[in-house]
Chain A
Amino acid sequence: MGTAAPSPRIQHLRQTLAEIDPSLGPRLAGEERLLALAAPIDAVLGGGLACGALHELAATAPAHLAAASGFALALAALAGESGGQTLWIATDFATAEGGGPYGSGLDLLGLASTRLLLLRVPRAIDALWAMEEALRCRALACVIVELSGEGEVADLTATRRLSLAAREGTGFGLLLRHHAVALPSAAATRWDVAAALSEPDAFGGLGRPRFDLFLRRNRRGSSGRWIVTWDPHERAFCAALSVAVAETSLHRSDRAPLARTG
C-alpha cells in the first residue's frame, strides 16, 4: 500500500535515479508541463496550455454551451493521452440544463468514455470542494467543473484556492461557466468559446467541430482570437485560422440577434 511518507533512503535512491534519467526525477516547483494546442495559440500561451493550473471557459451565449463543453472535452482528450483520467463535476442543475456527457459522443470526439469519471453534486460550492480535492490527485489529467449560470461562487478567493490546489497536482482544472462573467478570477487563462460554422464536407454535410476561441485573459501574454477545428481522429486542433478571419466572423450580421435573445 501507501506511499504517504517515503523513507529518507527511498528519497535518496530516487534522487540518484533522477540524476541518471531526468525523466524519472521528482518535479520541481515551478517546473510545469505545457499542453500544446496549435502553433499560433501556443505562441501566445508561451508554449501551450499550462498543466497544474486553472483555466476558465465560458460560453458566449446559451446556444454555445455545447461548444464550450466540447472545447473542454477536447482539451481533456489531449491531456489524457499521457494516461491520466478526466473527472467531470457538474451540479444537478447544470446537468438538467445542458444535459449530461454522453458516452458514445465522447468516444467519437476522441475522449475515451472509459477514462471519464462523472460526479454530480447538489450545490455549486460542493463542486468547488470536489474540484479542489480532485486537482491534487495525480491520477487525473483534467478536472472539469461545470457551473450553471454565471457561477458566482467561483470568485477570486475560490479560484485562487483552486489554482494553488492545481499547482500540487499534475493535471489542470477547467472551470466551465454557462455564461461569460466579469468576476475577477485567479485563473491562468480565460476563454470565451463559441461554436463556429463548420466547413461542410464534399456532400454538404456537417464538418468537423469548429470553435471560435477568444482568449480574453492570459497571465503570461497577450490575448487573441482564433477559429480552430478539432480533429477527433488525430486528437489535435488543426489549422487555426488567422485572427483576421476571426475578425470578420466577429462582425457577422447574425451574431447580434442571438446575443439579444440569449
Chain B
Amino acid sequence: MPLADARARYPALPAAEADPQADFRLLETIADWCDRYTPLVGLDPPDGLKLDISGCAHLFGGEAALARDLVDRLGRQGFRTRVAVADTLGCAWAIARYGDVGTLIHGESIERAACVSIVPPGKVETAMRPLPVAALRSDSETVAALAAAGLCSIADLADRPRAPLAARFGEELMRRLDRAFGRIDEPMTPRLPLPAAFAERRFAEPIVHETCVLDTIERLARQLAQVLERRGEGIRLVQLALFRADGVVHRLEFGTGAPLREPVRVRRLFEDRLAALDDACDPGFGFDMVRLAALVTERCDPLQIGLAGGNAANRAEELAHLIDRLGARFGLRRITRLVPQDTHIPEFAVAAVPAHAARSTIDTPSPSSRLRGEAETPEQDSLAPSRPIRLLERPEPIEAVAEVPDGPPVRFRWRRVLHEVAHAEGPERIAMEWWRDAEGRTLTRDYFRVESKLGARVWLYREGLYGRETDRPRWYLHGLFA
C-alpha cells in the first residue's frame, strides 16, 4: 500500500524512512548477543538469524527452554521474536516464517509455546508438508510459476516425481527441497570465526566490579589452559566477550607475542587493558555472562626451565610477556623494534616493526654476540660514528652559511639558536633512488657531520647539487649525534 493511501486512512500514521543499513547493524548486534547460546551464529538478512545449537541446548535445559529463554530475553529488550528449532536449517526457516498458518500445524508433532515452534527429530517432512511453497526459500518467480501450475504446498511438490519438476522449475528448487528435508547437507557460515577453544561462565546476578570480572577471567583462563595443555597449544589471539545484562556485548581482543597459557598472565593482560579502557567498557547494570575464547592457538611445547632460574629461556618468556602487556595497554603497534631495510636513504634505512612480529633472538651472553655486533656495523672512515643516534621525523630546514657553495657550513641557525661550526666532515653524497622520483624528491643530498663550538654534533645536508640541480640549495638538519 502506498504511503499516501495509508495516510488517508490513518492521518496520525508515523512514517520513517527505511534504513536497511541500520537494520543490518541492529541484526548484527542481536547476532552478537545470540553468541551467548552458541558460537555458531549466522546472519539471514534482512530479519533472520541462524543458530546452530547442536550440543548446546542441554546447557540451557533443552531446546524448548533455550528457545523460550531467547524469546523472553529478546522480548524484554523490545523485540518480537519467532523461533523454530528443527533438524535442518531449511525446515527451521520455513516453520519460523510460515509455521503459524493455522490449521497446517499438527498439534501432535509440534510443540508450540508463545512464539516458539519445535519440530521433534525425524519429523521434518511431516512438519513441512502443509507449508506453502514459498517456505522453500525460492524466489518469487518460481513461487508464481508453481502457483500457476497448481502446486501450492510443499506436499504437492514432495509427492510428485522429481524429474519433470526439476526440468520445469530448475534443479535449484529440488536442491532446496532436499536441503529442507535433510537429504543433502546445508553448510552454514558462522558470522564470527569459530574459536579454537573457549570457556564461559553465566551469572544469575550480573557482576559489576572489575575484580569480579578479572577473577572470572582468571578462572576461565584456567579452564582454557587445561584444554589447551591437553592439545599442547598456547593462545596467540585471545578474545574476551562481556555480555551485558541489557544486551550490549563488549569484545576485547588482542594477540600475544608468544603462545600463552598461564591464567595469571592472561588475567594481567586484561587487567592492563581494562585499566586503559576506562569508560569504553562500561558495565552498566552488570555482565551476566563472560566468555574467554582462544581464537588462534599455536603449538606450545613445555620448556625445560633451568634449575637455577633466570636462564635465557625464562628471560625470553618474561620479555614476551612484558611486550604483550605493554601492547595490551598501548596497542601492539606502539611497541616496536628497529629493523634495517635494504635502502640507503637515511629515513627509510631503518623501519620500526611491531615487536611481536619482529622476533628477536635473546642471545645468551657470549663473546660471539660482541663479534657479530661488530660485523654488522658498516666500515668507518673516521673516529666518529657516521650515522646519528637520533633521526628527526622529518628534516628541519635551517639557515646555513657556507664559505664555498659546495663546502660545509660555517655557521647555522637551528630552532632559532645560532651554532658556530668547529669541525665538519663531508660531504657524503646520497642520491635519491630513481623510483622515488615520482614523489618529487629527486634532489641529491650532500650530508655533513658537523660539530658546533659547544660540542653539539649534528647531521646536516644540503639539498640539491649546486648549479646542476638547483641554484639555491636549501639546508636541512636531519639527525643528532651523541
Given contacts A104-B349, A139-B318, A195-B456, contact A13 B393 (CB under 8 A): no
0/1 interface trace, chain A 112-143, chain B, CB 8 Å (1 if under)? 11111111111000100110011001111000
Enumerate chain B residues within 8 angstroms of A133, measured Cβ to Cβ: 322, 325-326
Query: Count the A-B residue pairs with Cβ separation under 8 angstroms: how many?
Result: 264
Nearest Cβ in chain B — how far from A78, in angstroms?
A: 12
B384 touches A205 (CB 8 A): yes
Quick one: which of A1, A103, A140 contacts B302, CB cutoff 8 A?
A: A1
Given contacts A103-B349, A106-B338, A255-B454, contact A66 B360 (CB under 8 A): no
In the complex, what distance in Å separates the CA atom of A201 from the CA atom of B419? 22
A108 touches B300 (CB 8 A): no
B372 closest partner in A (C-beta): A112
Enumerate chain B residues within 8 angstroms of A71, measured Cβ to Cβ: 482
Segment of B93-101, B199-207, B307-315 in the binding face:
B307-315
B309 touches A102 (CB 8 A): no
Residues of chain B in range 422-476 having any CB-CB distance to chain A below 8 Å: 422-423, 425, 449, 451-458
In the complex, what distance in Å separates the CA atom of A250 from the CA atom of B46? 79
0/1 interface trace, chain B 49-68, chain A, CB 8 Å (1 if under)? 00000000000000000000
Quick one: which of B315, B336, B425, B456 contacts A118, CB cutoff 8 A?
A: B336
In the complex, what distance in Å separates the CA atom of A194 from the CA atom of B382? 22
Enumerate chain B residues within 8 angstroms of A115, measured Cβ to Cβ: 360
Nearest Cβ in chain B — how far from A192, in angstroms?
A: 14
Quick one: which of A26, A85, A195, A232 contacts B457, CB cutoff 8 A?
A: A195
Residues of chain A in range 136-157 having any CB-CB distance to chain B below 8 Å: 137-140
In the complex, what distance in Å separates the CA atom of A108 from the CA atom of B264? 40
Q: Does B378 contact A (CB under 8 A)?
A: yes
Q: Does B385 contact A (CB under 8 A)?
A: yes
In the complex, what distance in Å separates the CA atom of A2 from the CA atom of B390? 37
Enumerate chain A residues within 8 angstroms of B305, measured Cβ to Cβ: 3
Q: Does B245 contact A (CB under 8 A)?
A: no
Nearest Cβ in chain B — how far from A225, in angstroms?
A: 15
Quick one: which of B308, B336, B418, B482 contacts A230, CB cutoff 8 A?
A: B482
Q: Does A98 contact B (CB under 8 A)?
A: yes
Q: Does B481 contact A (CB under 8 A)?
A: yes
Residues of chain A in range 16-30 having any CB-CB distance to chain B below 8 Å: 17-18, 24-26
0/1 interface trace, chain B 350-372, chain A, CB 8 Å (1 if under)? 10100100001111110001100
Residues of chain B in range 377-423 having any CB-CB distance to chain A below 8 Å: 377-378, 380, 382-393, 415-420, 422-423
Residues of chain B in range 126-166 having any CB-CB distance to chain A below 8 Å: none
Q: Does A208 contact B (CB under 8 A)?
A: yes
B481 touches A119 (CB 8 A): no
0/1 interface trace, chain B 288-323, chain A, CB 8 Å (1 if under)? 000000000000101101011110101111110111
A137 touches B383 (CB 8 A): no
B327 closest partner in A (C-beta): A119
Quick one: which of A18, A26, A101, A204 contacts B389, CB cutoff 8 A?
A: A101
- Size of interface on A: residues with Cβ below 8 Å to B: 91
Residues of chain A in range 168-227 having any CB-CB distance to chain B below 8 Å: 194-198, 200-201, 203-212
Q: Does A244 contact B (CB under 8 A)?
A: no
B355 touches A117 (CB 8 A): yes
The binding surface of chain B is classed by DSSP as: mixed
Nearest Cβ in chain A — how far from B171, in angstroms?
A: 55
Segment of A36-44, A47-55, A57-65, A159-167 in the binding face:
A57-65
Q: Does B79 contact A (CB under 8 A)?
A: no
Quick one: which of B321, B360, B380, B451 contacts A198, CB cutoff 8 A?
A: B451
The binding surface of chain A is classed by DSSP as: mixed
Q: Does A73 contact B (CB under 8 A)?
A: yes
Q: Does A107 contact B (CB under 8 A)?
A: yes
Enumerate chain B residues within 8 angstroms of A98, measured Cβ to Cβ: 390, 392, 480
B261 touches A1 (CB 8 A): yes
Given contacts A99-B390, A114-B360, A207-B384, contact A130 B415 (CB under 8 A): no
A112 touches B425 (CB 8 A): no
Quick one: which of B303, B374, B389 contacts A73, CB cutoff 8 A?
A: B389
Quick one: which of A139, A203, A207 contacts B315, CB cutoff 8 A?
A: A139
Nearest Cβ in chain A — how far from B278, in angstroms?
A: 13
A116 touches B380 (CB 8 A): no
Given contacts A66-B389, A69-B389, A197-B451, contact A105 B479 (CB under 8 A): yes
Q: Does B80 contact A (CB under 8 A)?
A: no
Enumerate chain A residues within 8 angstroms of B451, measured Cβ to Cβ: 197-198, 206
Quick one: which of B300, B335, B337, B393 contacts A114, CB cutoff 8 A?
A: B337
Q: Does A32 contact B (CB under 8 A)?
A: no
B335 touches A138 (CB 8 A): no
B417 touches A117 (CB 8 A): no
Quick one: which of B308, B340, B355, B390 contacts A66, CB cutoff 8 A?
A: B390
Q: Does A261 contact B (CB under 8 A)?
A: yes
Given contacts A81-B370, A109-B389, contact A104 B312 (CB under 8 A): no
Enumerate chain B residues within 8 angstroms of A104, measured Cβ to Cβ: 340, 349-350, 378, 387
Inter-chain pairs besides A103-B349, A120-B336, 12 sampled, C-beta below 8 Å: A98-B480, A102-B391, A108-B380, A118-B337, A119-B330, A133-B326, A139-B316, A195-B454, A197-B455, A198-B455, A200-B423, A205-B382
Contact sample, A vs B, 16 pairs, CB 8 Å cutoff: A66-B458, A83-B369, A85-B362, A99-B393, A99-B479, A100-B390, A103-B338, A112-B376, A118-B338, A118-B352, A133-B322, A138-B318, A140-B322, A197-B453, A206-B382, A206-B457
Q: What is the interface of chain B, defined by CB distance below 8 A to chain A?
A: 234, 261-262, 264-265, 300, 302-303, 305, 307-310, 312, 314-319, 321-323, 325-326, 329-330, 334-340, 346, 349-350, 352, 355, 360-365, 369-370, 373-374, 376-378, 380, 382-393, 415-420, 422-423, 425, 449, 451-458, 479-482
**Shortest 7 CB-CB distances between A and B: which pairs?**
A70-B482, A66-B480, A103-B350, A195-B455, A108-B385, A83-B365, A103-B338
